[in-house]
Amino acid sequence: MAHESHAPDTTFIIAEPDFVFYREDGEAHLKYLSTMDAVQFQFSHYDELAELLSARSQKSFRAELQQYLKDLKHDKNAPWPLEPPEPIDPNCPEQEKMRWTAEAADLGYGLTYCFSRKNKPPPEGFKPEDISDHLHDLQAYMTAASRLGRGGFLWCGWNVVQWKSGDTKSKGVRKTCPLTGAQLSMMTSKCARELLPVWLQEKDTHMGTFFSQKMGLQWQEWLGCAYVYPPIGGFFTHKSTTCSTKKSERVLQSHFEDKWCQAGTRKENDDQVHRWICGFTAKGPAQWLHQNEIRLPEELPGLRWYTQAPKGTPNDQMGWRYYHEGISPANKPANED
């Protein structure tokens, strides 16, 4: 996110694995996980994937698979084993055909591997009609926040409490302000570059606490931080990886039944409300950054996020182009090359 190849206003949407827009999505995911547990990760299911790879990649894939299955016996959430890839050799015809290139970049805080496409996908590969309406809405909220001077970080999914609902234990609970939960957020490259050096100096902390205490109360003006109220979606009931120990397992219960939690990205029925962009406060009610609630229209052309082009982009590739509207090259306007 902080790599210099990204334009400063490039927006990243960050979601934790347990985030869902709707409670029903979480229930479906849990049902899927229980089915996977019953299958017990049979080797043949994974091994069949190797046949889809090139001969050059099959050997390394099977080696990584063996390591993954070994790690899985000790940790059900074990990540796929990944070694830093070797940089692409432009003089090697075999590597020249590969889709992705790897760059070892020293950004001042350690060696980081960055990935990029060697060749851009064809214009007809961009199909805006296939993009989720939720993603369009998220970008619209980021645009609205940017116009309010808070275009660096937008906290979209959060909780007013960690363990209790906030309804059964309402004393001292601020129903319009985030306390914890980092299940959904958005950040620009500019914000990431400024944040990264100071974040690396912070002691390990719960990410939701870091968002509320540091990015919210201390750095909101500097980094351009805000949050969406009511929060967007939530998480499904799951074991807490940050609070559980070997002796005691703690379970985070979903908040979808609580009044302060709202599913989806926009008002969908009479029980829901339109959302607001808010600033962070240490006590009291939320700080509304605008006078009227955000009523997202059915069409969002006025709330498009026009990302700056990365350095070195030819002038004829900048700006809004016909293929952004889903028009194929075969039907492109006469004035387009």
Euclidean distance between CA atoms 292 and 275, whole angstroms = 9
* CA dist 257 → 24, 32, 264, 314 (Å): 12, 22, 14, 51
* Bridge partners of residue 188, in order along the sequence: 11
Question: What's the confidence (pLDDT) of residue 57?
Answer: 78
Euclidean distance between CA atoms 108 and 298, whole angstroms = 44
Taking a C-beta distance cutoff of 8 angstroms, is the pair 66, 78 a contact? no
Tokens of 178: 């985030």
Q: Please report which helix (H) or strand (E) contains residue 200, including its range.
A: helix 189-201
Question: What's the confidence (pLDDT) of residue 324?
Answer: 63
Tokens of 235: 């998480």
Taking a C-beta distance cutoff of 8 angstroms, is the pair 12, 186 a contact? yes
Mark the ranges of the chain whose per-residue pLDDT is less than 70: 33-49, 76-77, 82-129, 163-172, 204, 241-245, 300-321, 323-326, 337
Interhelix angle 55-72/43-50, nearest 10 degrees: 160
Sequence-distant (6+) residues with CB within 8 A of 35 are none
Question: What's the confidence (pLDDT) of residue 206?
Answer: 76
Euclidean distance between CA atoms 333 and 182, whole angstroms = 44
Euclidean distance between CA atoms 159 and 169, whole angstroms = 14
**Other CB atoms closer than 10 Å to residue 4's CB: what's the count?**
13
| DSSP 3-state of 106 | strand
Question: What's the confidence (pLDDT) of residue 166?
Answer: 43
- The DSSP secondary structure of 166-189, one letter per residue, reads SSTT-TT--TTS--EEEEEEEEEH
